[in-house]
Amino acid sequence: MTMEEMKHKIEWAGKEAWLKGNLDAFDEVYAEDYIWHRPPLPDISGLAAIKESVNDMREAYSPLDMSYDEMVAEGDSIAYRYSFRGRHTGQSPTLPVPPTGKEVTLVGCVVVHVFDGKIVEEFEHSDYLGFLQQLGVVPPLG
């Protein structure tokens, strides 16, 4: 698989899982021993764990919308910007905030490492401070 094909596969699998709940789409893109680094949250290890995390977030935010923007590939790496939008209607174990009913947006960048046609590791750097401020968990700065 070329890196151009992999970029399309990442977007397809992400939208299938996040927007449609088809978590098995991740099987085509992620390695079994995949690791997701996303500070300040704990790392997630393994394909089953990413499916559980995405399902938890899907239950906490609905309806969801997301976009993949400005994907760039070089060597065995892909980088992209994304936007995730939803209404906070439930509670996720990852971010155990009681439902606020607020519309929120999370934006960030992800660097993906690919080996043998599968994602083996991702480094996500997202605006979790702004996200928590939108939820009202952290006061605005200034």
Q: Using the predicted structure, report yes or no on whether residue 107 has a pLDDT greater than 90.
A: yes
- Of 119, 121, 123, nearest to 111 by C-alpha is 123
The confidence band for 1, taking pLDDT boundaries of 50, 70 and 90, is: confident
Residue 27 DSSP class: G
**H-helix or E-strand containing 30?**
strand 30-38
Please give the mean pLDDT across all residues of the chain. 95
For the segment 22-66, what is each residue's pLDDT rounded down to a tens digit?
999 999 999 999 999 999 999 999 999 999 999 999 999 989 999
For 54-111, what is the HEC assignment? HHHHHHHEEEEEEEEEEEEEECCEEEEEEEEEEEECCCCCCCCCCCCCCEEEEEEEEE
Retrieve residue 62's tokens: 């609905």
Token digits of residue 50: 């990413």
Which domains, from first to last, does the chain contain?
3-135 (3.10.450.50)
Q: What pLDDT sits at residue 137?
A: 93
Residue 95 has pLDDT above 90, yes or no: no
